[in-house]
Structure 1
């Protein structure tokens, strides 16, 4: 491997761009300024209230500024939540991740705060007396299942639901940002592995086998994968916002804002794909009259089902036909992802060395560390974006699993504490996501014990072999077993799917307590990230990405068994490992993993960092 140089400086505009990431917008002033004009719009439409979900028209994880309706009306900028805005009151719902943030960012004189999952917005609604009231909802922002649940709750409350064609928030939002208009670019087949026409032909065959005429694809990630394209409409994920209709003969209609379309894109798509303006979507749906059309109720809004019913098409509720093929990576995608992880591991190792040598004095802040890590990634070249905002949590902030550092919450990495950093990058050939927990100063015995219990769970999930038909739900207990035996647990999933230069959180597979019906099969990438969080003190998480290997027989066994191959390479925190708690097999796993880390990364490092890595990867 060629040695990768470490850049000494970065362009000042780049540094400023990073620092702006931590200035979280929103706050009580937004609610004070924006609630009155929304209420004016409610009255103009004859409504008594409006349901405001966080989700946008595309069900994105990260929203364009123009679609941050909940943040605009309330001031709350969390990534999960919802609200009811009435003419005389306003109620906002947020889960435990955002208990402090939602209280800080909303005006208590204007907003009542309720919890998710209990009672949740619909549970709260059905317990209210809303007799005779009309509550509006935007069918473009809600799934049909959510609309049904809300209708049931509204009926119990005595209210009437009204689908709005013009969202009152959109009408009240005078300085609303423009919708994103980044050029859609071709994703080279050397990264994609399979030409887009071949992908569409296979999906068409699958549709024909199920006696379907077409499928409406509403997920931007599925569109990006199916057509071998990428975009820049959403932060942290290279998505083009648009819609598509795939037909059983392999042809397709792709709906994009015309400003995003170039001659290179037209040439790439060829004659089997008809490019149409997004404004033509209703007309395109009308053309499905009399046809059987697959639509995924988990990712498509109620609006699509309403329109198909209106035009006389038969909507068949099925999982997005692109989702599973996208999840099962081909050889090129796995090779690219592996290469991206090696580069990313070099950057992360330089960062871990910096943490262990220059960031131990107690003066470095969470923001300092997050910026430093992004600098290391950027310095190697090829970083398109972060794959999500870095979770940089020191001490008690690390005990918040989904913590996001801001200028208001920024803490120093104090000696005698733990520091948790969960981060990743978007590269043309792959998407990374890795978490490491390290000591600042000398760790306590409890810190070492808890870290080692988490490590035991991580090893169990990394080393498991499993038969065909096994889902992530079946495997989840492996990562929790050591913690459970100590009377401990963590309140998040153990693993999520990951895309290739796409979403860092990708279905349909996942590893969690909640039931998931999708078996883990060859080529799927999942994270392995058990954790432990001691409230008010510290958090611990160890995360690698791994992919499902081809099934093969174990010597003396009878069944073909799948396994996992690790993608992420970065040293673990030796100072946090309590060797007395590890079995011989677990110690051997750590030694073998560290040998791989050194083998993959050493040639990309030199000097003190290479020496540090050698010591970090010595056998236990």
Structure 2
């Protein structure tokens, strides 16, 4: 029997492992910056297995292999990855380390690339393998790269200044704040390796990663207020050098490791959640002392300043008009048949492009018809493309990158003719009630995202239902659509972000959902801004949410009998705001559609 493409690639990797003296190898979706979304050159897991999600890991042993994904990708991994080649493993029910501890042969050598894994993962895997009498081995060269003959080169696109008029704070001010942070802690330097942190600190943007405007680079920030930027020379222009100023030294990217080694004897802050294990190892082997601390740009980046907040509102208003025009188009055309997930995604992109301000999508549009909507992070392609059938549920989760803000919105609609089944309306309305409960939440300072998560789930739980993804993620300012450290999600053993205190200025998504495998998916998503909330007689400081996203929610799917008077009031007030913000940007049939969609319940 002839091997298929992914079977042949797996076979080639196993032969390479044998040549390298390894009994297994771990392949994550990651890059040297621990990015969520990675450039084509770093898509090793996708190349090897066919998996197209944004989070996952494979382990390849001599006689078996497994792929690990979380609940967002339970359906997708089975559609894209050959179950004859890989066992499907669910995270967090298990982990790569736990699996290796149970399945790695006694005495085996399991390889990993220290530039693609965090230090915590390495330590946990070392412990699990030691109990098995096996060893975790850092490789000098990634064996996947050795067998990936046509692997793309990293992007050579230039890095560009991001104007203070959008950033709201100068490079000098940001560097000064990091220098003060280092001085208070008695530290000499901080390694800034997360791409969005580098972009924020130096007010630069790039196009090296699809949907995320970052440039492949590292920074070492020093206590004297200076910084070193390590970036490929072809990315550097005179404009960039002038923007950075004399206090930022620019060096080639391959000078980064020697610069780490030159910090011998220094106290260096490194973020264990954002810096790969190889950075820690390089510093420690050179004689530097690493101090594990959260990257000092993370909280300032998450707490949007007034300029960034105003930019977000402008971007959301512009984007809301584009999405509204698309939803009108969909309502007119889809009931006649002939539209597909791809044609709808293209129509939505066209509406955003009409704004004249779109720089990129903020992620690949999730255009999901019928049963495809049951996969929360479904990604349409030519093979999976499905007709949007009349009399069905359609879900679209999308966003845009604009110089003044990053958007992310999900709307679920009923495609007529006919009326939605009672079950669909019930599920949609329970999701809506959860969305409203979270949007209206008022909470004391010090509250974490984990403490708010059940606000959005309570009405589903009451019916014995739930969803497998988090309720909310942070969002950047013309940066990552998934930005930490804040999250609204179930707390699972200190999972990253769930215990982070929500602070004024943070932007998060509010996106509860419901998914029925093989039938449909429902999600309602707006972005919200954490704001101070003044309450007469309050004992202490309180916070709430300002809704930022304004696009009609499909009233056809609402079972109004399930809504309380307060929930109807929220609906009507929200849609009055949609009319006020989006209406002036529309005309003709689009405006007439919006007015009808925003009429009070």
Which TM bucket (shorter chain)?
over 0.9
- 2:514 matched to which residue of 1? 532
Q: Does 1:517 align with 2:517?
A: no
1:526 alignment partner, SS class: strand
User: Does the C-alpha gap of structure 1 residues 91 and 574 become closer, same or farther in structure 2, counting only changes over 3 Å?
Assistant: closer
The TM-score normalised by the length of structure 1 is 0.92
Q: Does 1:220 align with 2:195?
A: yes
Count the aligned residue pairs. Answer: 592
| 1:474-553 alignment, distance < 5 Å | 474-514=451-491, 515=494, 516-552=498-534
- 2:125 matched to which residue of 1? 150
Deviations 1:36-90 (A, max 9, x none): 4433432332222222122221212222111111222333333222222234443
Q: Does 1:464 align with 2:441?
A: yes
Measure the CA separation in 2 of the matches of 1:107 and 1:358. 37
| 1:296-311 alignment, distance < 5 Å | 296-311=271-286
Measure the CA separation in 1 of the matches of 2:394 and 2:8. 38
Measure the CA separation in 2 of the matches of 1:129 and 1:147. 15
Q: Of 240, 246, 253, which residue of structure 2 is paired with 1:278? A: 253
Measure the CA separation in 2 of the matches of 1:190 and 1:416. 47
User: Does the C-alpha gap of structure 1 residues 317 and 347 become closer, same or farther in structure 2, counting only changes over 3 Å?
Assistant: same
Measure the CA separation in 1 of the matches of 2:413 and 2:49. 37
- 1:555 matched to which residue of 2? 536
Measure the CA separation in 2 of the matches of 1:52 and 1:536. 30
2:334 alignment partner, SS class: coil
The TM-score normalised by the length of structure 2 is 0.95
Q: Does 1:184 align with 2:165?
A: no
Measure the CA separation in 1 of the matches of 2:10 and 2:560. 57
How far the C-alpha of 1:363 sits from its partner, in A, is 2.6
Measure the CA separation in 2 of the matches of 1:46 and 1:129. 15
How far the C-alpha of 1:99 sits from its partner, in A, is 4.4
How far the C-alpha of 1:252 sits from its partner, in A, is 0.5
Superposition CA RMSD, Å: 1.7
- 1:402 matched to which residue of 2? 377
Q: Does 1:368 align with 2:349?
A: no
Q: Of 347, 350, 355, which residue of structure 2 is paired with 1:380? A: 355
- 1:430 matched to which residue of 2? 405
Worse-matched range after superposition: 338-347 or 485-494 = 485-494
Worse-matched range after superposition: 349-358 or 503-512 = 349-358
Deviations 1:400-423 (A, max 9, x none): 211112222222222222111110
Q: Of 244, 247, 266, which residue of structure 1 is paired with 2:219? A: 244
User: Does the C-alpha gap of structure 1 residues 527 and 550 become closer, same or farther in structure 2, counting only changes over 3 Å?
Assistant: same
Q: Of 559, 576, 582, which residue of structure 2 is paired with 1:601? A: 582
Deviations 1:582-610 (A, max 9, x none): 11111111111111101111111100110
User: Does the C-alpha gap of structure 1 residues 47 and 272 become closer, same or farther in structure 2, counting only changes over 3 Å?
Assistant: same
User: Does the C-alpha gap of structure 1 residues 104 and 439 become closer, same or farther in structure 2, counting only changes over 3 Å?
Assistant: closer
User: Does the C-alpha gap of structure 1 residues 111 and 459 become closer, same or farther in structure 2, counting only changes over 3 Å?
Assistant: closer
User: Does the C-alpha gap of structure 1 residues 548 and 116 become closer, same or farther in structure 2, counting only changes over 3 Å?
Assistant: closer
Q: Does 1:48 align with 2:23?
A: yes
| 1:257-296 alignment, distance < 5 Å | 257-296=232-271
How far the C-alpha of 1:104 sits from its partner, in A, is 4.6
2:103 alignment partner, SS class: coil
Worse-matched range after superposition: 463-472 or 215-224 = 463-472
Q: Of 190, 204, 211, which residue of structure 1 is paired with 2:179? A: 204
Deviations 1:211-247 (A, max 9, x none): 1111100100000000000001000100111111111
User: Does the C-alpha gap of structure 1 residues 68 and 469 become closer, same or farther in structure 2, counting only changes over 3 Å?
Assistant: same
Kept in 2: contact 1:399–1:533 (CA 8 A): yes
Kept in 2: contact 1:330–1:523 (CA 8 A): yes
Measure the CA separation in 2 of the matches of 1:512 and 1:81. 19
Measure the CA separation in 2 of the matches of 1:97 and 1:475. 20
Measure the CA separation in 1 of the matches of 2:272 and 2:205. 24
- 1:332 matched to which residue of 2? 307
How far the C-alpha of 1:366 sits from its partner, in A, is 1.3
How far the C-alpha of 1:96 sits from its partner, in A, is 4.4
Measure the CA separation in 2 of the matches of 1:558 and 1:396. 49
User: Does the C-alpha gap of structure 1 residues 122 and 245 become closer, same or farther in structure 2, counting only changes over 3 Å?
Assistant: same
Q: Does 1:173 align with 2:145?
A: no
Measure the CA separation in 2 of the matches of 1:113 and 1:519. 34
Kept in 2: contact 1:204–1:246 (CA 8 A): yes
2:55 alignment partner, SS class: coil
Measure the CA separation in 1 of the matches of 2:75 and 2:542. 46
Q: Of 305, 311, 329, which residue of structure 2 is paired with 1:354? A: 329
Measure the CA separation in 1 of the matches of 2:435 and 2:599. 20
